[in-house]
């Protein structure tokens, strides 16, 4: 950290992976703002992470453009700057083969994984340009590089799009001190994975335990990843030491995807 008090916004960060990344940045001296849909849960999480007030909460539904833009505005109004934006919100529902996939499920996947990141980045970049410093980190998935699970074409396509957006942002702002990278996360048993995974398992006609084991078997490490492993990558990308890394689509997946 420099003498400047850096500020980080981590979306969907009141639990699981988002909270792990927020706690990692807090340990590095950042002021951290976390977002989520539940105000009660968010305020409790912020207080648990740091009772002294170095973590604050802003309510936001990532599927809502107005709320997403207001979230970024609130961070800048509250702290006068935004140095790190981690777009962690994402997911999908309505798992089905392509010929049975609904329009709503397809549209929601793009809104949740791509549009939400676009809205937040577009709102944050002017402040980052003024500062001459910015770190944009989009939480993607190994499914953004490959397609190795059935019934998830909407999610696979949306994460591929998010990776493309990440590279485009890196190209446009790399000479203004702003980096843009994506972390392609392998299987981590978060709350979201449990929810979405059970639905995907049901659509595939298998148990949730069998669904998890498929992910473990596909990894070179033979296991699921931990929240701490993903948070460590985000910590590097958010730091001064990460200045030379941009436009990168980085795997933290235990070797599930080898490129």
Q: Residues with catalytic annotation?
A: 155
Torsion of CA 138, 141, 144, 147, to 10 degrees: -170
- Cα–Cα distance, 30 to 38 (Å, whole number): 23
Q: Give the Å distances, CA to CA, from 122 to 26, 70, 126.
A: 24, 12, 8
Nearest alpha carbon to residue 84 among 188, 177, 184: 177
- Structure tokens, 146: 């490959």
DSSP β-bridge partners for residue 58: 35
Q: Confirm if 247 and 172 have CB atoms less than 8 A apart.
A: no
User: Nearest 5°: CA angle at 35, between 30 and 38?
Assistant: 140
CA distance 141 to 160: 9
């Amino acid at each position: 950290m420099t003498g400047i008090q850096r500020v980080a916004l981590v979306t969907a960060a009141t639990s699981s992976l988002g909270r792990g990344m927020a706690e990692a940045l807090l340990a590095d001296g950042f002021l951290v703002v976390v977002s989520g849909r539940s105000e009660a849960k968010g305020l409790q999480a912020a207080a648990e992470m740091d009772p002294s007030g170095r973590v604050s909460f802003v309510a936001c539904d990532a599927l809502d453009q107005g709320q997403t833009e207001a979230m970024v505005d609130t961070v800048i109004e509250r702290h006068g700057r935004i140095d790190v934006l981690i777009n962690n919100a994402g997911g999908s529902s309505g798992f089905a083969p392509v010929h049975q996939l609904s329009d709503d499920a397809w549209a929601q996947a793009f809104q949740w994984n791509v549009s939400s990141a676009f809205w937040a980045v577009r709102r944050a970049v002017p402040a980052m340009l003024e500062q001459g410093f910015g770190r944009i980190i989009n939480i993607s998935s190994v499914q953004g590089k490959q397609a190795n699970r059935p019934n998830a074409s909407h999610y696979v396509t949306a994460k591929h799009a998010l990776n493309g957006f990440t590279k485009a942002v890196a190209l446009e702002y790399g000479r203004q001190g702003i980096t843009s990278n994506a972390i392609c996360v392998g299987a981590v048993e978060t709350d979201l994975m449990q929810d979405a995974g059970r639905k995907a398992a049901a659509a595939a006609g298998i148990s949730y335990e069998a669904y998890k084991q498929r992910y473990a078997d596909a990894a070179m490490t033979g296991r699921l990843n931990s929240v701490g492993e993903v948070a460590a990558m985000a910590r590097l990308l958010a730091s001064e030491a990460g200045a030379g890394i941009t436009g990168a689509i980085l795997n933290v997946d235990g070797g599930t995807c080898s490129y």
